[in-house]
Amino acid sequence: MPVYNLSINGKTTSVTAVADMPLLWVLRDLLHLRGTKYGCGLGICGSCTLMVDGKATQSCLLPISLAEGKQITTIEGLSADGDHPVQEAWKAVHVPQCGYCQSGQIMQATALLAANPNPKENEIEESMSKILCRCGTYPRIKKAIALAAKKIQ
């Protein structure tokens, strides 16, 4: 099997895997980074969202062979102590309910604010609708993004 050198959360990690192994399973099963969640494996739910070169990306659809040479950021690498402005806002607003979708939500929100530090309400809704939350935390997600946007500016 080929060896891939991945840049994950600022560190280079060598992984031996088949070329089409999804990044999600590389992270969870081979590297034991389990903050990125499996929901559907089909690019529908968004729970596996992380950032690749700063853009929100569904890791269940990204084969390891296409992840090499890119900067991958998972929820574990967003901050050292859970103190990224988006994480702080999430805590202040008490966004999570069951919590399952929340790492995907936070990574999607972080990528949104990196690209658009002052998003309009419809832009937040459009971006965050890509991550399904069966607990219906969207109203709190919107509040938290607005709060994080104020801190980031």
The residue type found at 141 is: I
Minimum CB distance to ligand FES, residue 102 (Å): 6
Are 141 and 95 in contact by the 8 Å Cβ rule? The answer is: yes
Q: Which stretch binds ligand FES (CB under 6 A): 9-17, 40-48, 78-86, 115-123?
A: 40-48
**Residue 38, interface with ligand FES (CB under 6 A)?**
yes
Contacts 24+ apart (CB under 8 A), 34-40: 35/74, 35/75, 35/76, 35/103, 36/74, 36/75, 36/103, 36/104, 37/100, 37/101, 37/103, 37/104, 39/100, 39/101, 39/104, 39/132
Task: Tell me the two tokens of residue 22.
Answer: 């999804």
User: Residues 101 to 140: which contact ligand FES by CB under 6 A?
Assistant: 101-102, 133-135, 137
Q: Mask: binding to ligand FES, 42-81, rule CB under 6 A, as x and -?
A: -xxxxxx---------x-x---------------------
Size of the site for ligand FES (CB under 6 A): 23
- Which residues contribute to the site for ligand FES (CB under 6 A)? 38-41, 43-48, 58, 60, 96-102, 133-135, 137
